[in-house]
Amino acid sequence: MNECLLCGRKLKQDMTFDFLFSFRPLEQSVVCKACRQKFEKIDFKTSCPGCGRQMSEKTICEDCKRWEKAGYELLFNQALYKYDENMKAYVTRYKFMGDYRYRLIFANELQEKVAEFQKQGYAIVPIPVDRETFEKTRGFNQVLGWLGKIDCENYLVMRQNKGRLKQSHKDRAMRMKTKQPFEYVGPNNLSDKKILLVDDIYTTGRTLYHAKTLLEDAGAKFVTSVTLAR
């Protein structure tokens, strides 16, 4: 790929002296440096331990305090980027307009993060999409697009509910009232399994906590999550 996916400028492959002698495989860039820098990374050292929200210091945010008050154990979600206007534009093009090429922009980063958990024995469970979205609208699961060849477990499927309002069309209050959208279809007993959920955006956490509840009910030892953005 010779042109930036985002702006169309010709790409330059920067190779430092250190890289030349590292013997690492060359990763082909798909976006230019200027476009890459428009996305703001979250600093894990000063993010909320519960959801990954960027904070001024590492402390539990008010949203996560509400989850705790409701009786939930926190997800300890790790988010890579802030969900700002640049990320929103990216998600719109990739997820809602279905430009599958855009998976490449963040695929390597997300795969590297997920691989850290795989090495620790976690089973990787992507958040599923409903059949209508898969067959009629987008044609792919955006999370699986990022994860590529990483081994994943299909422990969850979306319950069929025609006419259901999509999460992206709901305000915060409506999201929080969303009923359990998933069905567990994994092994009879997940005893001693550590699970990593992977999703695109952590907004209110409602979707991920629904998934967490089902997996814990099936016997999972520990459930946490990684998202591209918060």
3-state helix, strand, coil in the chain (%, to 5): 35, 15, 45
Amino acid symbol at 133: T
Q: Tens digit of pLDDT for each residue in 119-133?
A: 999 999 999 998 877
pLDDT at position 170 is 60
The ranges assigned to domains in the chain are 39-229
The CA distance from 120 to 129, in Å, is 27
The CA distance from 47 to 7, in Å, is 30
The CA distance from 190 to 168, in Å, is 31
The CA distance from 213 to 50, in Å, is 16
- Give me the residue label for tokens 């030892």: 221
Cα 71 versus chain centre, distance: 24
Q: Tens digit of pLDDT for each residue in 128-186?
A: 998 877 777 778 999 999 999 999 999 999 998 765 566 555 666 776 778 999 999 99
pLDDT at position 164 is 57
Global pTM reads 0.88
Q: Which CATH class is domain 39-229?
A: alpha beta
